[in-house]
Amino acid sequence: GWGLIRYRNKSGIISWGCIRDARVFPLSTAADSLGTLLSEGVPQLAQAALRGPEESLEGLELLSPVTQPCQIVCQGKNYLDHLLETGVRPQNKDYNLLFSKADSSLAPPQGVLRRPEGVRLLDYEIELGLVIGKAIGAPVRVDESDLGSYVAGLVIANDVSARDVQIPERQWFRGKSFRGFCPVGPVFYFMEPADWSLLYSLNLCLKVNGQIRQQASLSQLMHRPPETLELI
């Protein structure tokens, strides 16, 4: 596949680039959204970029590769280990828990996260994001074998929550949708057919001050992407 980033250079110009070993190869595109970029054909753009000039990653401001407007649909309590941590027995979770975050919560993968006024209990959760690559205008049946027909690629996201808003209100949207509460990136990984067989061998790890706070394998997913995409 192809690792892509969206960045702002020292002149303030926002561009897309293919990233290889801390080297950035600018894409020849005027796309102002990830959706437009996907419609232009990522493999062709990336192959052309790798034959062109490069620039250093140093000095670039990394931005979220996922752009507004978009829908951010999330799953709750979907990793077995995390479910057990919350005190819920797996046999008692008989539905696929879905919730949304406002796309105004999208934020760069690096930088300062501003705590909203009055919020004290900020929390983090590492997530693997699947980027839908085409419009789905009617109910669909999705199998593991054709997941790549609908999903273009992967991103890492941080599902930031204000627990002292989310828990007392007993609804998740507001406590998870403050501005800056969805840092994404830095890399959007465009999947190729051979990549999909490796999906469930991926491991996610989150550290705070060098200490591991979360670690999980996609093999622990209780409701896998094909089932969830059908449901959505």
Determine the Cα–Cα distance for residues 57 and 20; give it in Å rounded to an integer.
Answer: 10
Nearest CA to 62 out of 151, 201, 183 is that of: 183
What does the chain come to in residues? 232
Q: What is the pLDDT of residues 95-142, one digit of tens each?
A: 899 999 999 999 999 999 999 999 999 999 999 999 999 889 999 999
Q: Which two tokens stand for residue 114?
A: 């501003």
Dihedral class, residue 85 (left if φ above 0, else alpha if ψ from -120 to 50, else beta): alpha
Q: What is the pLDDT of residues 186-201, one digit of tens each?
A: 999 999 999 999 999 9
Confidence class of residue 86 from pLDDT cuts 50, 70 and 90?
low
Confidence class of residue 232 from pLDDT cuts 50, 70 and 90?
very high
Q: What is the pTM of this model?
A: 0.92
Mean pLDDT of 209-217: 94
Mean residue pLDDT of the chain comes to: 93
Pick from 22-26, 86-90, 116-120, 144-148: least confident: 86-90
pLDDT at res. 138: 94
**Where in the chain does DSSP place strands (E)?**
2-8, 14-20, 23-26, 55-56, 61-63, 72-76, 97-101, 106-107, 122-123, 126-132, 151-158, 161-162, 182-183, 188-190, 203-208, 211-217
Determine the Cα–Cα distance for residues 192 and 2; give it in Å rounded to an integer.
Answer: 8
pLDDT at res. 184: 98
Q: Percentage of residues in the chain with pLDDT exceeding 70?
A: 94
Determine the Cα–Cα distance for residues 73 and 70; give it in Å rounded to an integer.
Answer: 10
Count of CB atoms within 10 A of residue 5's CB? Answer: 22
Provide CB contacts within 8 A for 24, sequence distance 6+: 5, 7, 17, 18, 54, 55, 56, 57, 60
Count of CB atoms within 10 A of residue 148's CB? Answer: 17
Burial of 198 (0-12, 13-18, 19+ CB in 10 A): exposed
Task: Look up tokens 């896998």; give the residue.
Answer: 224
Task: Name which residue leads in pLDDT, 170 or 88.
Answer: 170
pLDDT at res. 79: 82
Residue 23 reports pLDDT greater than 80: yes
Q: Percentage of residues in the chain with pLDDT exceeding 90?
A: 88
pLDDT at res. 95: 87
128 and 93 in contact (C-beta within 8 Å)?
Answer: no
Rounded to 10 degrees, the C-alpha dihedral 112/115/117/118 comes to: -160
pLDDT at res. 87: 65
Residue 91 reports pLDDT greater than 90: no
